[in-house]
Amino acid sequence: MAQQTVLPVCAGTLSQTELDAKIDALIGQMTPAERIGELQDRAAGVPRLKIPAYNWWNEGLHGAARNGFATVFPQAIGMAATWDAALIGQEATVISTEARAKFNPQQNSDSLRYAGLTIWSPNINIFRDPRWGRGQETYGEDPYLTGLLGSQFVHGIQGDAAGVTFYRKADATPKHFAVHSGPESIRDAFDAKASEHDLADTYTPAFRALTGADGARSAAIMCSYNRINGVPACANPILQDRLRDGWGFGGYVVSDCDAVGNITEYHHYTADPAHGAAAALKAGTDLDCGRTYAHLSEALDQKLITLDDIDRSLHRLLLERLRLGMLQPASCSPYSKIGPGEVDTAANRKLALKAAEESMVLLKNDGNTLPLAAGKRIAVIGPTADLLQAIEANYHGTAHHPETLLDGLKGASTSKISYAQGSMLAEGFPEPVSRTALRSGSGAAAAEGLKAEYFSNTDLSGAPMATRMDRTINFDLDRAVPVDGLKTGYSVRWTGFLKPPAPGEYKLHVAIERCWDCTTHDGYRLLIDGKVAVEDDGKRGNLPPVSFHWADTAPHAVTLEFRHTGEDEGIQLQWEAPAEAQLAEAVAAATDADVVLAVVGLSPDLEGEAMPVKIPGFDGGDRVTLGLPEPQKRLLAELAKLNKPTVLVVTSGSAVALGDEAKGVQAVMEAWYSGEEGGQALAELLTGRVNPSGRLPVTIYRSEADLPAFTDYSMAHRTYRYYDGPVEYPFGFGLSYSKFAYSEPKLSKATAKDGDSLEVRATVKNAGSHDGDEVAELYLIPPTGSGAPRLTLQGVERLHLKAGESGETKFVLTARQLSLVDADGKRALYAGKYRIYVGGAQPTDLATAGVELEIEGGQALKP
């Protein structure tokens, strides 16, 4: 028997007037307490009115996240490096399809966190400072590029491309409105002070493009933790004045998690939670991710708010649930038939491969070192080469068949590949025990890895359900299982030997990725040479490492027992190995190779959101310095002494200044956090089967010394738009195995006036010998001394051209794209002589670049 619903008919068949009346009538039957309960992310539901509970919190930054197996695309910063808006839309379409596939079986019933249709992505904050750990979640430092890519992400998530007018496939939620980009350690109480000019010129244009009535029309938007010029973002008049009144946003506003509570607890903006909740609700925050809106009952009693204030937000939320196909027969939604078979398909993995290939940026290629010739002996060396986290990034799903960069290279290459970890990621930061140290037996012929026995119970009893070899113990188990067929309650026993690469002091550690709000946790026991080294029954949390001094390289018996009884998200067997031992192993591997492939950089365990990391170079998820961590610098210095041809592959979510470390290498590839197909993509690019085409969505500065203070939110001397000093690699830069030549751009008219659009055309020729993609970039260069940015990106087009082939780019520039913002934040067309440049990178001489355009000023534009 079908479950009863609020509406027995399809909401999409009703007029807006009829629908509003039914929603208001439903709200009228609810008590004040019931209404308040629906304004929180864990909406309680009202069973007597057939309203099921619903958990609004879901994530989909670069794949359906935190809810089992899903397609894992490159991290958002890597998506941005494709400069391919259509591709971003295709990725978002997959994300919403996989979210739907997980949600539909539980339609019109309570949902788990991360299992709903309200996806809290994309993150379109401007990556104004490379020290920000969450910058990896963004589309980079440019407002235009961010708005272009983010708009396509919104369309893909919401299903707009299907032509459906009422029903949504899922909700996109651009975040964090509006001035938010670190520091992480003080974000809950931080006051981001931004001028009216910077607000209108840099911090809000992408939000306007995604949420405005003349933009992508996202269903929702998320307000941020910080204050904006003294007022907490979730209680700030900007929500009404700019977002709704200025841009015509018609959706709902959700707070970042506990941001409403922060209004009182951290910002001390109000006297108590009731006043804080009232301030947020009256400002326009409809949904509280947290529990502070429970205090709205007190606010109502104290007449700080009215029932109409509550009803206004509740109406928006109920309307949205109807647009998602909830509270009515499931068959009403055109997306109701999407099922589990559409998760992790071959087509989705193929798209992940294409995204990874387009995302990687070739930064250096001296002497045409790349592509590598077939048959070379390659030594893959570095701490992120075999690191699962370096392909997953943060806010990720679980790849069904995860392959590290090393695995992908081995699987896709015909070359002989050796491997050494080489160093730790950073000082005092453990790394998963290298596969070269784990052995199935104690003899010289033993296979890499440990024997793994998987049991369908939690006490390791009876015969194992499956037995296999696991090369490393580094598993992402977020609502996923390591062996198909296992249920939530299972156990694993890994056995074998650990062979230290050299004598010295070793620290071993078992790390459980804890589910932060779960009531039960996983347990484990580690035995070395038959003796218990560390044990946790699931109640003690992650324990300190255990030290061993091994006087030789004799193998030591290892047994690791793991009991998965809760909702914890992964397990790692980690070590801190002696630097000298790892360096010696790396040098030995490199000595026997023709080419060294050094895979270095960062990991999302070093840079990320509000992390408990405080070690040299890192603080609370942010970076203190822009260079590589010291252990990796020492590794590269040792490898340089061998004078071997060396290719540097950098994994990161932010700009890494390579400095002297890059001078001795022949080629550099920025791989970002490249997703589940990153290893194969890297192999395709290094061997020339695919031609590199990625572009930097950020500036790679020489040093943090070139930047203003991290806490300074003024855009002066920040990003390519306002920074005119020397850099390592500029925004928009990226090499190819081919050469592309551009004609001078042709304008449809030499003078722009009265808000007319302008058409710009240019011819691009592949003048090299390799087929490939070229990313054409259009820059507008304002008059010198105008107070405007040095130049601004205003057009992007990706072309595929065969060797010798030519193609034409066509750009249309609107009046808004030709406009500037004054000191008071007013946007208008300003008179003067501008220049229009089209090329494969930024122009080097702004005074002579491209062609001249005369703009007749005077026209004011909307905010």
Which of 256, 403, 670, 676 is an active site residue?
256
Category of 327 on φ-ψ map: left (φ > 0), alpha (ψ -120 to 50) or beta: left
Amino acid letter, 10:
C
* Alpha carbons 26 and 20: distance in angstroms, whole number: 10
* Alpha carbons 59 and 94: distance in angstroms, whole number: 14
Residue partners of 357: CB distance under 8 A and separation at least 6:
681, 684, 685, 690
- Placement of tokens 């690469």 in the chain: 501
Which of 98, 142, 392, 607 is an active site residue?
607
Residue partners of 673: CB distance under 8 A and separation at least 6:
74, 75, 77, 78, 136, 389, 390, 391, 392, 393, 604, 651, 652, 653
For residue 401, give the 3-state DSSP assignment: coil
* Alpha carbons 216 and 148: distance in angstroms, whole number: 10
* Alpha carbons 133 and 146: distance in angstroms, whole number: 18
Q: Which two tokens stand for residue 632?
A: 């990796």
* Alpha carbons 736 and 464: distance in angstroms, whole number: 51
User: In Å, how far are 366, 407, 419, 619, 649 from 591, measured between CA atoms?
Assistant: 22, 22, 12, 36, 19
CB atoms within 10 A of CB 642: 15
For residue 147, give the 3-state DSSP assignment: helix
* Alpha carbons 287 and 40: distance in angstroms, whole number: 6
The half-sphere exposure of 611 on its side-chain side, counting CA atoms within 13 A, is 20
* Alpha carbons 702 and 569: distance in angstroms, whole number: 37
Is 256 among the residues known to form the active site?
yes
Measured torsion, CA atoms of residues 482, 483, 488, 492, in degrees rounded to the nearest 10: -70
* Alpha carbons 860 and 794: distance in angstroms, whole number: 19
For residue 711, give the 3-state DSSP assignment: coil
Residue 773, phi then psi, degrees to nearest 5 = -90, 145
* Alpha carbons 690 and 3: distance in angstroms, whole number: 52
Contact 96, 71 (CB under 8 A): no
Q: Measured in Å, how far apart are the chain's first and last C-alpha atoms?
A: 52
E strand map for 477-623: 490-498, 504-512, 523-528, 531-536, 546-550, 556-564, 570-576, 595-601, 614-615, 618-619, 622-623
Q: Which two tokens stand for residue 452?
A: 């793994």
Is 607 among the residues known to form the active site?
yes
Q: Which two tokens stand for residue 849?
A: 């670049």
Burial class (CB in 10 A: 0-12, 13-18, 19+), 783: middle
- Placement of tokens 């947290």 in the chain: 290
Alpha carbon 239 to chain centroid, angstroms: 25
For residue 423, give the 3-state DSSP assignment: coil
For residue 635, give the 3-state DSSP assignment: helix
Amino acid letter, 786:
S
Known catalytic residues are 256, 607
